[in-house]
Chain A
Amino acid sequence: MSTASEKLRASAAEALACGRVSLVLGWRKKDFWWQSPVAFVEAAAEAEQLSFDPFSVYNPVKYLLEATECHEKVGVFVKGCDSRGINRLLQDKRLEREQVLIFGLPCSGKADPAKIRAVFPAQKIREVAQEGEELLVRLTDGQERVAAADFLLEKCLTCRHPNPVVFDELLWEPVPVRAGVDVSRFARVNSVAQKEILERYTYWARQFDRCIRCFACRNTCPACNCRSCIFDQAEPRWLGKASDLADTMNYQIIRAFHVAGRCFECGECERICPAGIPLQEMNRRLIMDIDKYFGPYEAGLDAGDSPPLGTYRGEDPAGFDES
């Protein structure tokens, strides 16, 4: 068993045993090699289930909203991306810093099951474990080692903050930022931007046409933390329930604008979208524009900073007076 998992278990067990927290959010393994859902650990003895493996991806931060309602203090394990979600909730006044005990986990990237399935027959895979910079793939008929970097999730390839930006304890040494992320971060946006405007519309229409309005993107997003969402409102109903392309665009574009300047690029919306809609391209497009008009800004790095779209500055480009 990896030492990373052991460190998680020890930290959680200790925090629960001495009563610093009454709940710890981490990850555990489930039935399949690629399943590492969030675990809710409420007693030191239950900490054994915790695991940190190539698939401990899901951002546990949004669960803090409900968890802190019935627990005075909650422990949470966060990767770099997850930690920025905590700053998101702090800055949006949806969480108090003293309500959470943050265990930081420097992370050099998580594995994409689809990339692994493309190389190894899925039926034969029993376990995929991280060993240093390699993935150890245990198969029904043997095992193989491959470079973990070749199997990274798309979102990890563009990650600029692999180390937690807010934490109480760091469980191991920080890791280096991947080379070339500043280019890869906007590569897809640039490629879409190069399309002619009609072609660009066709592209997005085709993507949004697949949207089934399951709202997984919104529900998973720590920046979507409104107590009640306008799109759920029945009176007046802003969003029809029928699967109509105009309404879907209405939903997706308004959501993108609502998280603009607050999206901290965890990429979970895109990763979990069952329809494979490249949502991160929209979020990053808005980040590009914010950088251009308001100066470079990355959300979720500092809960005390002044977000460009949440702060008025005299030198901001004028908008209202230009007719």
Chain B
Amino acid sequence: MKKIAKTKLQELWRCLSAEGALYLPVRSDSVVDFALWQEDVPADLETLNTFLPPKKFYYPQTETVLKYEFGENLQLLDASSQAGEKTILFGVRPCDTAALSLMDKVYLSEPVDEAYRRRRENTVIIALGCREPEETCFCQTFDIDPGKAPGADLLAIDTGTELVVTAQSLKGEELLVALNGVLQEATSGDEIRVKDVQEQAGEGYLTRVSVHGLAEKLDTCFASPYWDRLYRRCIACGTCTYLCPTCHCFDLQEYAAGHSGERVRCWDACMFTDFTQMAGGHNPRPTQKERVRQRFMHKLNYFPRQHGGEYACVGCGRCVRQCPVNLDILEVIREMGGAVDGQ
């Protein structure tokens, strides 16, 4: 266990940036998002939810999967072998860290997505424990401890004036060694302070819902009239899906000029009409009702059914805060039978 005074973080970041491309939460205009570290640009370590979740570093909104030349002869070039420069993410919250393990279930299952795997392998996550949940946080619902981030390589806990850092993986340990010059040894007092912060973090939830038994209950809810009511407010934008740390659906598109081109993978959203629209005109999800149902059923029933009971939600609250019409997963969990206590 090591530590550093918060006043000396610039020094830490300078060292980290020598180890790889360093990204951390930065405010630009009105928005806090992960951005490449720049000397003298202050990081925002208070805001819990960045605008976009860090999934964008593993699964970018746009990435070339294949390059081709189609003049005389067709030549295909695998673009995934270029993915995965050495990257360090600083300040990833526990919910977003947990979301990556859900993403892994999709992209690291056979057949493994090579670009994703390479990025995962070449990225070091320095998680930052939360001190106090926001009103829209409900990570606890999914057994995520806001003071811990087991999937991270390093865990930093803000004890007030210092960050106390613990290595949680081999990659994390290696990085700690490289940072020896700027870090101090933590004391037993720090250890106690870390425990206190962690314990306190889990106590401030305003939003308490339970998903116990929800996946099973939803097995029989596909035809429920509930969906007829729920969807009407939806304006079919992609805010919820694009801001979601576990949404992973994509489209493949061609970008070409002359005799060369690229096949590009880009985020897509089940909220959009053309998501399931087939060339012949048939659309198995013809109205917004089916699309809204698909999104929530995917998160709360299909995904758990495919992946050992785990829900495709980490309770980060981005959709709760950002949906223009306040139609979010919290509402569905509450109304479809998740037990409620608290507010």
Query: Interface on A for B, CB 8 Å cutoff?
Result: 30-32, 35-38, 40, 58, 62-63, 66, 122-123, 125, 206-207, 210, 212-216, 219-220, 232, 234, 240-244, 268, 272, 274-276, 278
Contacts and interface: CB of A to CB of B under 8 A. Distances in A.
Given A58-B325, A212-B52, A215-B237, A123 B135 contact: yes
Contact residues on B (Cβ < 8 Å of other chain), bracket = 35 or more
A185 B80 CA distance: 49
Contacts of A213: 238
B324 A240 contact: no
Given A241-B266, A243-B266, 11 more contacts: A66-B232, A210-B28, A212-B61, A215-B236, A215-B237, A216-B238, A220-B235, A240-B253, A243-B61, A274-B243, A275-B51
A184 B324 CA distance: 25
20 contacts: A31-B331, A32-B136, A36-B326, A37-B325, A58-B325, A122-B135, A206-B29, A210-B51, A212-B267, A214-B237, A215-B237, A215-B238, A219-B236, A240-B255, A241-B268, A242-B253, A242-B266, A268-B324, A274-B243, A274-B322
Nearest to B229: A40
A319 to B, nearest CB: 32
Nearest to A212: B242
B141 to A, nearest CB: 14
B239 interface: yes
For A32, A58, A234, A240, which residue has the most chain B Cβ atoms within 10 angstroms?
A32
A30 B253 contact: no
A37 B327 contact: yes
B237 A30 contact: no
Contact of A35 (B31, B132, B326): B326
4 closest pairs, A vs B, by CB?
A: A216-B237, A272-B324, A214-B238, A37-B326
Nearest to A278: B29
B30 to A, nearest CB: 4
Nearest to B33: A210
Interface in B232-277: 232-233, 235-239, 242-243, 251, 253, 255, 264, 266-269, 272-274, 277
Contact of A242 (B51, B62, B273): B62
Contact of A30 (B255, B267, B274, B331): B331
Nearest to B132: A123
Contacts of B322: 274
Contacts of B253: 240-242
Contacts of A220: 235, 237, 324
B326 A40 contact: no
Contacts of A31: 207, 330-331, 334, 343
Contacts of B31: 210, 275-276
Nearest to A55: B326
A234 B274 contact: yes
A216 B236 CA distance: 8
Contacts of B264: 241-242
B204 interface: yes
Nearest to B240: A214
